[in-house]
Amino acid sequence: MAKPSKKATTSQEFNPKVLEETNQSLRQIATGLGFIAFQMSNLKDKKNPEKIQFLAKFGFDRHQIAAIIDSTASTVSKEMSILKSPADKEETQPQNTDA
């Protein structure tokens, strides 16, 4: 029984242009799936903070969320900052070590 030979690495496998095009396609697919999930949810008639929170839980970034809810990335960023939980805010605050 012959041993399988090692496959030669082609230049296309590591071509940055091909990787970027693939990455872009995957982002578009993810945004499309997010839009479908959003449309199937009961949030279509809700206010933006609820929509943003829903989509952020799925890992969408502010640009993707803005595209899905027909808003701007700036508006989404502001809402995400407001929605950030108090525990998260405390973690980012420097702690006073003076006793």
Domain boundaries, the chain: 46-90
99: confidence class by pLDDT, cuts 50, 70, 90: very low
pLDDT digit string (tens) for 34-93?
888 888 888 878 898 999 998 888 888 999 899 889 999 999 999 999 888 665 655 555
Contact 19, 27 (CB under 8 A): no
Contact 65, 35 (CB under 8 A): no
